[in-house]
Amino acid sequence: DFELTREPESSSVAKATLTKQTLQDYVFILICPTFTAQRIMGLQKRLTTLVTNIQTAADAKEMERRSGMEDNCKIRYERLKDDAKACQEKVEEIRKGWSIVTQKVVYSELQSVLDSQQQLCAAVIEDKKKLIRELQRERRVKEDQYLKNLRRLDEEIKLMLDRMQQQFQNLSKAYREELTQLQVEADLSHKGALNDFYSSKEVKNLKTKYAKQKDKFMKQRQYLSEVHKRSRQHYKRIQKEVRYTTAADARKFEEMWATMEEEVTQLAEKALAIDSLICKHLGLAWERPSAASMESPGPCRSQEHDTNPTSHPLQTRHLPHCSQRMMDASVGPSLERDSEHCTGVEEGELSSEMLMKVMELLCDETGFLVEDKLWKLLAPMEKNEQTTVKLHSLFAVLGLEEKDLAKLAEFLLMYKRQQEEQTEVRLHTELSIPCLFLCVSRSSLSHPARDTSVEEAYWDRLGNIITEDKLKLWDAAERELKQYE
């Protein structure tokens, strides 16, 4: 079915034959019945013969070379023999010529004989030289042939390697296909066995058991989801209540404050009026204490949150007193930017977008807090992950928790608004941010010890609107008055 061409003149021809044969192989494989063992055997045989064909061709060439060499040897031998014979004849002649020396002859005769001898010798030498040249030429031809032979052998070896490579590939492909086919068959038989196994009675019990278990789990699942839903609703309701109550408390507090304030101011006014009267009577100058001392800090400031630490971030209301702390200028403008984007922020309701922005802000600003090694690790991660990791580290360092994040964000917003309202010039220091955090943490972690100093001062002031001296004066006046009675 295939034959290596007798003399592959060039490697391209050899390659052409190679592809033709592999094509034939493939055709054979396709047409052959699917019985794999036979197919593989055939494949093995064909591919191996492709490789050994090269060897056979080399053998044939070698035989030709040998026969050629034998012929050449014979020819050369003949020629050398002829040459030797001819040479021998000539040498005989020369020898005969020397015999003349023994005879007595004329000088000229001797001379001519000598000349002829010389010529004969020269002829012999010439013959020999010719022979040498011819043999040398033959040798050069042989050398060229040898080189050509070596090149041819090299090509043949390359071809053989190619074919061996192809053989490996084809055979391994065929083996793999056979393997998959066997596996498929094994699978099928295995499945068949399993089915048989399962369809038998002993295994039916397992099936019912399994079905029962499944039902049970489904029911449990449903029940648990109901419970979950209900508890969520409950939680929401409680949250609403808390909010409502805190709002109500705040309102009540405000009202109380207002009434108290009114009462106190009334009393204060009364006292001042009396004071002025007394002074007038005593003939002292009286001046009204400055309006500043009567300034009320407002009801908002003094709200207690001790009862509900995890409640609503209404506490941010009293954080503005921290606004007297310095804040970094950069936070300000960036917050400005952010707040421009956000729609009105209600208490306790922060858009997640804001939250994200705040977190990013934190990240960027507190970059210096993050260690170098962490930077290196973070480098390959995405931006979002970076943010998260950084925040985690920061909060871990500072002891914050996630829930505080919301408070933090709101505080920042509050502060921002404050900044816009107030016109005071702020001093900036470098570490204001950590200070800020500390304040935040302090205010949110620790049950905030309210800074009630201002309120205290206010009440004190109002309480002491009539000073000690005045009181003494009043006492003295009273004593005097009593004396008069």
Residues in the site for another protein, rule: CB under 8 A? Answer: 1, 3-4, 6, 37-38, 41-42, 44-45, 48-49, 51-53, 55-57, 59-60, 62-63, 325, 371, 373-374, 377, 389, 392-393, 396-399, 429, 431, 434-435, 438-439, 441-442, 445-447, 449, 451
Query: Would you state the structure tokens that stand for residue 81, as one six-digit string?
Result: 């023999």
Whole-angstrom distance, CA of residue 179 vs CA of residue 260: 95
Whole-angstrom distance, CA of residue 40 vs CA of residue 178: 8
Whole-angstrom distance, CA of residue 169 vs CA of residue 174: 9
What's the closest the beta carbon of residue 70 comes to another protein, in angstroms?
A: 10
When the beta carbons of 256 and 397 are compared against another protein, the nearer one is 397
Question: Residues for the chain: how many in total?
Answer: 485
What's the closest the beta carbon of residue 376 comes to another protein, in angstroms?
A: 9
What's the closest the beta carbon of residue 48 comes to another protein, in angstroms?
A: 6
Whole-angstrom distance, CA of residue 202 vs CA of residue 205: 6
When the beta carbons of 16 and 377 are compared against another protein, the nearer one is 377
When the beta carbons of 45 and 230 are compared against another protein, the nearer one is 45
What's the closest the beta carbon of residue 55 comes to another protein, in angstroms?
A: 7
When the beta carbons of 63 and 193 are compared against another protein, the nearer one is 63
When the beta carbons of 270 and 442 are compared against another protein, the nearer one is 442
Task: Assign residue 316 a region (left: φ > 0; alpha: ψ between -120 and 50; beta: otherwise).
Answer: alpha
Whole-angstrom distance, CA of residue 467 vs CA of residue 460: 11
When the beta carbons of 44 and 339 are compared against another protein, the nearer one is 44
What's the closest the beta carbon of residue 381 comes to another protein, in angstroms?
A: 10
Whole-angstrom distance, CA of residue 445 vs CA of residue 305: 12
What's the closest the beta carbon of residue 478 comes to another protein, in angstroms?
A: 43
Long-range contacts of 9-13 (CB under 8 A, 24+ apart): 11/155, 11/158, 11/159
What's the closest the beta carbon of residue 295 comes to another protein, in angstroms?
A: 22
Place of tokens 């005879």: 103
Beta-carbon contacts of 205 under 8 Å, excluding residues fewer than 6 positions away, are none
Cα Rg of the chain (Å, integer):
59
Instruction: Work out the number of other CB atoms within 10 angstroms of the CB of residue 412.
Output: 25
Query: Would you state the structure tokens that stand for residue 39, as one six-digit string?
Result: 């197919």
When the beta carbons of 218 and 457 are compared against another protein, the nearer one is 457
What's the closest the beta carbon of residue 268 comes to another protein, in angstroms?
A: 30
When the beta carbons of 372 and 485 are compared against another protein, the nearer one is 372
When the beta carbons of 59 and 364 are compared against another protein, the nearer one is 59
When the beta carbons of 260 and 389 are compared against another protein, the nearer one is 389
Look up residue 179 and give its DSSP letter: H
Distance of CA 199 to the CA centre of its chain: 50
What's the closest the beta carbon of residue 273 comes to another protein, in angstroms?
A: 39
What's the closest the beta carbon of residue 65 comes to another protein, in angstroms?
A: 11
What's the closest the beta carbon of residue 460 comes to another protein, in angstroms?
A: 19
Whole-angstrom distance, CA of residue 474 vs CA of residue 278: 8
Helices (runs of H) and strands (runs of E) counted in the chain: 12, 0
Whole-angstrom distance, CA of residue 413 vs CA of residue 76: 114
Query: Would you state the structure tokens that stand for residue 422, as one six-digit string?
Result: 């107030």
Contact present, 427 and 294 (Cβ < 8 Å): no
When the beta carbons of 67 and 239 are compared against another protein, the nearer one is 67
Find, among 397, 437, 394, the residue nearest to 415 by Cα: 437
